[in-house]
Amino acid sequence: MAEEPLPGSPRAERPSSLEKTGERLRDRVEHARPLGAAHDDPRKQGHQGHGAHHAHGGHKGHEGHDKHAGHSAHMFRNRFWLSLALTLPILYFDMHFQEWFGYTAVQFPGVGWVQPVLSVILYFYGGWPFLEGALRELRARQPGMMTLIALAISVAFFYSLVVTFGVIEGMPLYWELATLILIMVLGHWIEMASVEGASRALEHLASLVPVSAHKLVGNRTEEVSVDALRAGDRILIRPGEQVPADGVVMDGASSVNEAFLTGESRPVPKEQGAEVVAGAVNGEGALTVEVKRTGDQTTLSQIQRLVAEAQASRSRFQNLADRAAGWLTYIAVGAGTLTFLAWLLLGFDLNFAITRTVTVLVMACPHALGLAIPLVIVNATAMSAKNGILVRNREAFERARDLKIVAFDKTGTLTEGKFGVRSVYTGGVAEEEALTLAAALEGRSEHPLGKAIVEEADARTLGVPDVRDFEVVAGKGVAGTVDGTRYRIGRPEWVNEGGLSLPPELQRGLDEAEGRGESVIAMMDEGRVLALFALADKVRGSAKEAVKRLKEAGVQPVMITGDAEAVAKTVAQELGIARYHARVLPENKARIVRELKQGGPTAFVGDGINDAPALLEADLGVAIGAGTNVAIESADLVLIEDDPLDVVRALRLSKATYSKMIQNLFWATGYNAVALPLAAGVAYAWGILLSPAVGAVFMSASTVIVAVNAVLLRRTRLA
């Protein structure tokens, strides 16, 4: 069964809206910069933390440089295990470890070279990602975690080699070099493994277009590659098939599912002259379409372009660990330089000054700093999963803590994306009898509106009679014979086309239903209209409670939908949402989110492909788990249970997580307030001088505190 809006009804402008969508998308792309342009000018790059979309070369940590270009969780995993294999013998042969644990290492000729040789391999293999990252940060003039790590391991490495070759006296720091590299590689492995895969959004978009099409050549069809289609070609789209290219219907009538583009769950009627877009799914009738746009010119490709642009240009928070590391880098270099000059000016020898400086520089990069954030993220992610929330971007916890606005897509998010019977208007028959007849006719239909009627009859446990001579009338509805009487059920326009008219009571019902933006189906026999069924998308059971709790938390709920004003107003009033935007075209959702962000940090919750740019534009993107893969891959958080209340739980968890991040960074770096001055020798006059070994105890204690504090996050109650 197919359905079309009545002239002048809230849905009557649907085809022109689609054409307008395609035109605006194409116009935007024609005037947009190339996909790579976002990377060309460092001044235009926003901050991006570890949750970056790796489809664009990795991870934008700062303006103008790509912090994790070419990096992956798999790479860090491999480097961790080999680094561990190199670290164990370095620790085994270290004099400090032998002294602390009371053992004597195996002795053999050349044993003294085991640590230096393994350290050289470890420095260049395990430490290479940090050395590369430091160069990028320094070129961008924004030192962060990579610079601090590279500084610490380089100082420890070269100092140890100089001592080993007897250039200066001292104790080599091979064990500190090894453990520092090992823990930092582990931290980055944990971190990247928790967020990798966000680049799949574009892959899912590409998968929507079929690989072949049925091209009409004369009186026959020929299966050709979609890439071979050209403007002007005519193609046949059979029932159930996806549209391979944008075009105009030349022959046939059907209903087409365009939810991927519009977000609206109702199929859109198509007949001669109507536009169809690539990726849409054809319904019950065959369509002959003349191709108008192919390849990069299709509307779907424009959405791909919008998603790619949003991924490339989306502003990012510079993550907390990087900010702390940046400051520690400046402090370490400044303190190290001051230490070196001070001891020389005080008349101490060069060896003493160098030793003090090296100790300061190495102590400035605590092992705990590399694990402070990843350990919290791992625990937060585990908690999220138990509560039906999948974390795709670790920055979500930093960005969600102070949200002021949460914008919801309507269809599939606040509503279920499936129709339900809201009202039944009858003329001359009982309501249950009308439902019984309608369910009998729609029982063999695949149309979602028809299914809603069948489900309503099932819910009322009504007995449904058999239907004979069932017939699908493309573009109109279905017909069949029940108990010897011929009935038709379909779009209201079919009433006039059949020479019938609506009685006054049904006309009032039609006006009332359309005033609420509901879809209407008419049922009639050969001589009169028997009933009208008003159907609407079902509001999710928990949506109203979620809106209420957001308001209580001081967060403003906003609804954004491509549906008509009447539909949007009805749903907004039912949920208690004061601010809403109706008739929003796909490419304008991101623009509205951008405008909302001027009022404070904004989250967007959606489920459709058309929501992907808005999910990326928002400070926090939340996807409904039952939505499209593209929406899920573009989001920071995914609500597995499709429950809007999980948005509230996610906000609570984000606040608790951010608090733990701050606490861990304090413990991971706070000891420097004591350790660095002692390492520099400020208490030397009182016989207190912090050696690297004692500094290691401080670092170990800091690491333990950070780990325990991260585990305590699990005590947070989200319900």
d(CA 356, CA 332): 12
Using CA atoms of 297, 302, 305, 309 in order, give the dihedral in degrees to the nearest 10.
Answer: 130
Q: In terms of C-beta distances under 8 Å and separation of at least 24 residues, what long-range contacts does 667-671 make, across chains too?
A: 667/368, 667/372, 667/702, 667/705, 667/706, 667/709, 668/324, 668/366, 668/368, 668/369, 668/371, 668/372, 668/702, 668/703, 668/706, 669/324, 669/328, 669/366, 669/369, 671/366, 671/698, 671/699, 671/701, 671/702
Q: Is 409 a catalytic residue?
A: yes
Catalytic-role residue among 233, 246, 409, 619: 409
Gap between the terminal Cα atoms of the chain: 44
Q: Decide: 462 and 439 in contact? Cβ < 8 Å.
A: yes
Q: In terms of C-beta distances under 8 Å and separation of at least 24 residues, what long-range contacts does 92-101 make, across chains too?
A: 94/174, 94/175, 95/171, 96/175, 96/693, 96/696, 97/175
350-381 burial string, b = 16+ CB within 10 Å, else e? Answer: eebbbbbbbbbbbbbbbbbbbbbbbbbbbbbb
Strands (E), 36-149: none
Which of 495, 515, 476 has its CA nearest to residue 427? 495
d(CA 467, CA 483): 8
Sign, CA torsion 96/97/101/105? negative
Residue with tokens 């509901």: 518
Which of 401, 392, 313, 400 has its CA nearest to residue 50? 392
Burial of 386 (0-12, 13-18, 19+ CB in 10 A): exposed
Cα 217 to chain centroid, rounded: 43
Q: Decide: 209 and 242 in contact? Cβ < 8 Å.
A: yes
Q: On the CB side of 273, how many CA atoms lie within 13 Å of its CA?
A: 2
Task: Report the catalytic residues.
Answer: 409
